Amino acid sequence: MNIVQTVKDRLSDLSKNEYKVAQQVLLDPEAIIHVSTATLAKQANVSEPTINRFCRRIGCKGFPDFKLQLAQQLAKGASYVNSQIDDDDNVSTVTDKIFSSTLSALANTQRTLDHAAIEKTISYLKDARKISFFGFGASASVAHDAQNKFARFTTPAIFSDDVLVQKVAALNSLPGDVIVCFSHTGRTKALCEIAQLGYDNQATVIGITAKGSPLAKYCHVVVSTEVPEDTDQYMPMASRIAQMVLIDAIVAGFALAQGEEIKQQLARVKAGLKDSRFPPQ
Amino acid sequence: MNIVQTVKDRLSDLSKNEYKVAQQVLLDPEAIIHVSTATLAKQANVSEPTINRFCRRIGCKGFPDFKLQLAQQLAKGASYVNSQIDDDDNVSTVTDKIFSSTLSALANTQRTLDHAAIEKTISYLKDARKISFFGFGASASVAHDAQNKFARFTTPAIFSDDVLVQKVAALNSLPGDVIVCFSHTGRTKALCEIAQLGYDNQATVIGITAKGSPLAKYCHVVVSTEVPEDTDQYMPMASRIAQMVLIDAIVAGFALAQGEEIKQQLARVKAGLKDSRFPPQ
DNA sequence: ATATTAATGTAATTAAATTACAAAAACGAA
DNA sequence: TTCGTTTTTGTAATTTAATTACATTAATAT
């Protein structure tokens, strides 16, 4: 998947001159993209076929294929590389970095999504008697957002950012109720407690959280968002966004699972809100 | 920057056969990456030089350059032009479409951002006596989220999703207070009213909303997110996310503008929350 | 020290992209 | 319409790039 990493990993498998090529590649991957075998050969002080052999060894079909993979890699990873915010960044730079790191976090999440878990989540939600959304801190607004979305449908959807209210709701849950818990790390103690209460009451507990985390233990389904740690510096940003988009996807899947009637319902809600807006010009 | 979009935009400038090439490209951009001029020419039923002419017209150096740009674009995920959800899509497809359209909405927002307006917003916030975040419906959770973020700093930050509470807060605002209003369309009547109240009280009103909208009239600064309409089908999704990322960027800029002390403050908050979490293993 | 294997380069070949130019189509003005 | 002009398109030639075949050199083990 990650071609630059692959080159680094296989450095030891390479012959002397192939190694020279690798060095040249790692020196400035960006540059390789716009270069021909001939020029790269000259730069690395090897013959042209060696370039080709290098590409094959790395696992590519040939030099053009290698360039392509590199280009894709860099396009994706460009944001990762430079997403740390420095004290002397100006506003434009910071804005750009935030957007870029969010973009790459989302792209990463999309790539590593567990579709089976999502499918399972949707089928549980579809048959739910009642859906509760729980979370603390930054995850509270994710939970709030989720509740907002599900409010458009007919299944009762609740949310509170109050610990006690959440606890009571978990205590009063029954089989057939679904509890969705949000926590990026899965290590928030209060939330684990709540999840356990729901779990013990045989409600269905769904965790939008890290796999293998303490919270995950009390979940029937875990959907994780795989956002690299370093994207969230002082406060959760990218991870929160990833969770919200995940919920968007789940809501869309949920809506679709309901079939035709729900579309009319949604259209009705939209129409009903019309009067509270100025008409578009 | 966005090559697929460029192709779409310049569709009308193309000649008949160049148009055929464009169609072929838009049909399956992924496929083009691994194809030669000869094959693409055959697929589009044109001659090889036409492929080259097409690339030049679009603004590329040639076919290999076009392929490279396309590859990079696709890697970023910002390509999915038409992500309308169909009734017969399965869960994986829907999930993918939601992520893709969110990614492209974000990429689009990033590209069209008004950095001057953001800078102005940050400088107002920096000197604010009190910051209020207002919004209804889906924008309420964005406002909530914003309040959450700013709660980590020392400037008082308020939020409520209650109309009356918001109205009272606007009525009680003073010069030096900042009111941030969220509305994708800028046409929510209740919010316009609130913005006007604040405006009349000489509070600073910042609109995260559409330029030229009714809401924009009562804003001292407008930051718009330029998310294409069609990305939000039945409910606001991508636009909401774009607003949140925008807030992330503003928060980051805000934090940076405060200098060293705020970093310590943030670190302190983080440390203070430690006990409410299980330690990472 | 020599046989054997692996690594590398040279030269040839194949493939891909681009250019030059001519034919055809589209367009405008009389 | 009809003729001249411009634009579009394709054919063939050329250039550039990538790959292969094979010979040579270097490295390694017996």
Give distance CA B171 / C1' C19 (Å). Answer: 72
From chain B, the residues in CB contact with A34 under 8 A are 68
Give distance CA A20 / C1' C17 (Å). Answer: 29
Q: Using the beta-carbon criterion (under 8 Å), do B76 and A74 form an inter-chain contact?
A: no
Q: Per-residue pLDDT for B8 more than 50?
A: yes
Give how many domains chain B has, as a whole number: 2
Q: Are residues B130 and B253 located together in one domain of the fold?
A: yes
What does the pLDDT look like over B207-244, one tens digit per residue? 999 999 999 999 999 999 877 655 555 556 788 899 99
pLDDT at residue B1, rounded to an integer: 58
In a domain, B209, yes or no: yes
Spatial contact of A71 and B71, defined as CB atoms under 8 Å apart: yes
User: Number of A:B CB contacts under 8 A?
Assistant: 205
In a domain, A91, yes or no: no
What does the pLDDT look like over B21-72, one tens digit per residue? 999 898 888 889 999 999 999 988 999 999 999 999 989 989 999 999 888 8
- Burial call A97-106: b when 16+ CB within 10 Å, e when fewer: bbbbbbbbbb
What does the pLDDT look like over A168-190, one tens digit per residue? 999 999 999 999 999 988 988 99
Residues of chain A where predicted confidence (pLDDT) is lower than 70: 1, 76-87, 228-236, 260-281
From chain A, the residues in CB contact with B85 under 8 A are 252, 256
In a domain, B148, yes or no: yes
Spatial contact of B279 and A187, defined as CB atoms under 8 Å apart: yes
Q: Which nucleotides of C are covered by protein (CB under 7 A)?
A: 6-11, 15-20, 26
Average pLDDT value for residue range B247-273: 72
C-alpha span between B207 and B139 (Å, rounded): 12
Can you give the CATH number for the domain in which B215 is found? 3.40.50.10490
Can you give the CATH number for the domain in which A15 is found? 1.10.10.10
Give distance CA B92 / C1' C30 (Å). Answer: 64
* pLDDT, mean over chain B: 84
Q: Are residues B143 and B217 located together in one domain of the fold?
A: yes
In a domain, B61, yes or no: yes
Q: Per-residue pLDDT for B175 more than 50?
A: yes
Q: The tokens of A38 are what?
A: 């001939």
HSE at residue B197, side-chain half, CA atoms within 13 A, is 22
For residue B235, give how far its alpha carbon lies from the nearest alpha carbon of chain A (Å).
Answer: 8
In a domain, B234, yes or no: yes
pLDDT at residue A80, rounded to an integer: 41
A30, A52, A78 - which closes a domain? A78
- Find residue B130's DSSP bridge partners: B177
pLDDT at residue A225, rounded to an integer: 83
pLDDT at residue B53, rounded to an integer: 94
Give distance CA B79 / C1' D6 (Å). Answer: 36
For residue B15, give how far its alpha carbon lies from the nearest alpha carbon of chain A (Å).
Answer: 29
Q: Are residues B201 and B246 located together in one domain of the fold?
A: yes
Q: Using the beta-carbon criterion (under 8 Å), do B278 and A189 form an inter-chain contact?
A: yes
Q: Is B240 touching A (CB cutoff 8 A)? A: yes
DSSP string across A33-69: TT--HHHHHHHHTS-HHHHHHHHHHHT-SSHHHHHHH
Spatial contact of B249 and B149, defined as CB atoms under 8 Å apart: no
3-state secondary structure of B108: helix
Q: Using the beta-carbon criterion (under 8 Å), do B107 and A103 form an inter-chain contact?
A: yes
In a domain, A100, yes or no: no
In a domain, B97, yes or no: no
pLDDT at residue B89, rounded to an integer: 73
Amino acid making up residue A211:
K
pLDDT at residue A266, rounded to an integer: 55
Angle at A110 between CA A107 and CA A114, to 5 degrees: 155
Q: Are residues A236 and A161 located together in one domain of the fold?
A: yes
List phi, psi (to 5°) of A121.
Answer: -55, -45
Q: Which one of A2, A83, A99, A108 would you mutate to disrupt binding with B, by most B Cβ within 10 Å of its Cβ? A: A99
Q: The tokens of A101 are what?
A: 């790191």
pLDDT at residue A122, rounded to an integer: 95
Q: Which domain holds residue A59?
A: 3-78
pLDDT at residue A82, rounded to an integer: 43
pLDDT at residue A235, rounded to an integer: 59
What does the pLDDT look like over B101-143, one tens digit per residue? 888 788 878 877 899 999 999 999 999 999 999 998 878 888 9
